Amino acid sequence: MKTLTVGIVQQTCGARRDENLAKSIEGIRNASARGARLVVLQELHAGIYFCQCEDTAHFDMAEPIPGPASELLAGVAKECGVVLVASLFERRAAGLYHNTAVVFEKDGSIAGKYRKMHIPDDPAFYEKFYFTPGDLGFTPIATSVGRLGVLICWDQWYPEAARLMALAGADVLIYPTAIGWDPADDDGEKSRQQDAWTTVQRAHAIANGIPVVSVNRVGYEPDPSGIGRGIAFWGGSFAAGPQGEFLALAGNDGEEVLVVEIDVARSEQVRRIWPFLRDRRIDSYSDLVKRYRD
């Protein structure tokens, strides 16, 4: 496979689950009609970003996989003939929940899952209350369009996660995401945060010589508890090539469906001139498994 046409669905989310899923499905069909063979949805696209507060009632939003949402999305993947990356709140057992990306094959079967490994616990992002850290490791999911190195949101800040996916043969890194600003942030802080977010992921593309696809939600969402100021999700979904170059970039203010052709074969050429994997000093990296070098 030399090129891969990817659909990116950036959407707003509200309290109505059926409306959120309808938007996702509309985006999948839109991207498919424009030639996409792989479609990527944003993090937790079926609902609001409930992690702004800690409330046990929100566990009712979780469901097993397979379950109603995954079966619905499987049917759409089959209808459109696309490989689909969806992001769901997984109920594994009572009291055991994960933030899980599901990859559907173009025939609607489940090609694989990835459970979010790095779980944040920051103001307005209280994910440790809800999500058990993943236990499936950093393993690319084999599909008919290539080996997908699927990671989720907070994972995108960790070069170790991207590297391990690349070392396992990922053809592309994929990041379903939910990140935004505190409405109280000034314009300078907003710019610095988004620039850092974009830069670190483009750096993963460069350091590993493979493309990156990052899909973020967009729009203001109030804190469900009414206590916090809410989050203004900044959108900015993008695809970057193996030298970090932008291939597609969405805006900050609204819903968009981007379709971009990625030259997957170019990774081979880039790695030949920038052979970072060849020159790694694996004999000297043992301290990376320490929390800190005191």
Per-residue pLDDT tens digits for 39-55: 999 999 999 999 999 99
Per-residue pLDDT tens digits for 165-204: 999 999 999 999 999 999 999 999 999 999 999 999 999 9
Q: Is residue 294 part of a domain?
A: no
Measured CA to CA, the distance from residue 186 to residue 216 in angstroms comes to 21
Q: Is residue 283 part of a domain?
A: no
Residue 139: strand, helix, or coil: coil
Q: Is residue 292 part of a domain?
A: no
CATH number at residue 244: 3.60.110.10
**Residue 147: exposed, middle, or buried by beta-carbon count in 10 A (0-12, 13-18, 19+)?**
middle
Question: Percent of the chain, pLDDT > 70?
Answer: 100
Catalytic residues, by residue number, are 43, 116, 153
Say if pTM beats, i.e. exceeds, 0.85: yes
Q: Is residue 165 part of a domain?
A: yes
Q: Is residue 290 part of a domain?
A: no
Q: Is residue 92 part of a domain?
A: yes
Q: Which residue range is the domain that position 162 belongs to?
A: 3-277
DSSP 42: P
Per-residue pLDDT tens digits for 2-11: 999 999 999 9
Report the number of distinct structural domains present in the chain. 1
Q: Is residue 286 part of a domain?
A: no
Quickly count helices (H) and strands (E) in the chain: 5, 17
Contacts of 90 (CB under 8 A, 6+ apart): 62, 63, 64, 65, 97, 98, 99, 100, 115
Distance from the Cα of residue 54 to its chain's centroid: 23
